[in-house]
């Protein structure tokens, strides 16, 4: 594969425009390679974010032809429709500059959803035995590999409609904690996601599951939370 590719990149912040660049094509080129080429060879003022380049850190997520993706794990030849790639900052987050978004609202949701481990007294005194085939351990394991890249947050239409919605990543995190036998505040986690813009605001569109680069299914986690919260509410525990 030789020649050049037309790459359109968002410039500016909330207000801005797409700027077109011609980038030489390479074999096995990733979208992150395109952005890096533009920044190093064509316009050093381009702002973007990356770290590991191999799909571990989750910091290079951007909108590629309208779809949220890890740019480091997206090969150009998979997405270059009609020899053109359009790269924009992640949806549903404030834009700082060009391709760099402000991730603070995303991580704020994690805190609001009480997405942090609360050690129980028993777990603090002794090593907890958690059999791998325990049903709750399996539920937690299914959601635990999230690296917080915000692709699901960006893919979610409910987040777009209701900016106060906790979002798939934060709710998925809460679900793993609710299923963690070492956690000492199950009621606290359930109360945190039973708020007005909590798990029940989810419409199960499953865009989060569709786009998660790690293949997680936050929709499923949220469905689990909905059920637990419903019964807790009916029993008067919330």
Q: Is 230 in the site for another protein (CB under 8 A)?
A: yes
Task: Give min distance, CB of 196 to another protein, in A.
Answer: 4
Task: Give min distance, CB of 194 to another protein, in A.
Answer: 5
DSSP string, 184-200: S-HHHHHHHHSSTTSGG
* Stretch of 23-31, 117-125, 168-176, 230-238 contacting another protein, by CB under 8 A: 230-238
Pairing of strands 4-12, 16-24: antiparallel
Q: Is 223 in the site for another protein (CB under 8 A)?
A: no
- CA dist 223 and 13 (Å) reads 35
The interface with another protein within residues 161-220 (CB under 8 A) comprises 161-162, 194-198, 200-201
Q: Which residues have CB under 8 Å from 168's CB, separation 6+?
A: 152, 153, 156, 159, 202, 208, 218, 219, 221, 222
| Residue among 182 and 205 whose Cβ is closer to another protein | 205
| Residue among 18 and 161 whose Cβ is closer to another protein | 161
Task: Give min distance, CB of 233 to another protein, in A.
Answer: 6
Task: Give min distance, CB of 200 to another protein, in A.
Answer: 4
Cβ atoms 148, 169 nearer than 8 A: yes
| Residue among 135 and 236 whose Cβ is closer to another protein | 236
Task: Give min distance, CB of 187 to another protein, in A.
Answer: 14
Dihedral, CA of residue 133, residue 137, residue 141 and residue 143, to nearest 10:
140
Q: Is 158 in the site for another protein (CB under 8 A)?
A: yes
Task: Give min distance, CB of 129 to another protein, in A.
Answer: 34
| Residue among 76 and 194 whose Cβ is closer to another protein | 194
Cβ atoms 213, 149 nearer than 8 A: yes
Q: Which residues have CB under 8 Å from 143's CB, separation 6+?
A: 172, 173, 175, 176, 216, 217, 218, 220, 221
| Residue among 129 and 234 whose Cβ is closer to another protein | 234
Q: Rule CB under 8 A: which residues touch another protein?
A: 158, 161-162, 194-198, 200-201, 226, 229-230, 233-234, 238
């Amino acid at each position: 594969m030789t020649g050049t590719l037309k790459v359109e990149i968002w410039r500016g912040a909330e207000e801005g425009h797409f700027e077109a660049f011609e980038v030489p094509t390479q074999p096995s080129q990733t979208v992150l390679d395109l952005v890096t080429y533009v920044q190093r060879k064509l316009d050093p003022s381009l702002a973007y974010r990356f770290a590991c380049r191999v799909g571990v850190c989750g910091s290079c997520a951007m909108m590629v032809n309208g779809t949220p993706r890890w740019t480091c794990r997206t090969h150009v030849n998979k997405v270059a429709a009609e020899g053109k790639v359009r790269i924009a900052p992640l949806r549903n987050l404030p834009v700082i500059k060009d391709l760099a978004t402000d991730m603070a609202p995303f991580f704020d949701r994690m805190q609001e959803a009480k997405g942090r481990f609360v050690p129980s007294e028993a777990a603090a005194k002794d090593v907890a035995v958690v059999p791998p085939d325990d049903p709750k351990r399996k539920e937690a394991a299914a959601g635990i590999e999230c690296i917080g890249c915000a692709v699901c947050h960006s893919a979610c239409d409910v987040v777009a409609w209701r900016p106060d919605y906790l979002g798939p990543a934060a709710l998925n995190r809460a679900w793993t904690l609710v299923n963690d036998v070492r956690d000492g505040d199950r009621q606290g986690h359930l109360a945190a996601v039973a708020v007005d813009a909590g798990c029940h605001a989810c419409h199960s569109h499953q865009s989060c599951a569709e786009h998660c680069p790690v293949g997680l299914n936050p929709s499923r986690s949220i469905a689990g939370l909905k059920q637990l919260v419903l019964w807790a509410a009916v029993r008067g525990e919330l």
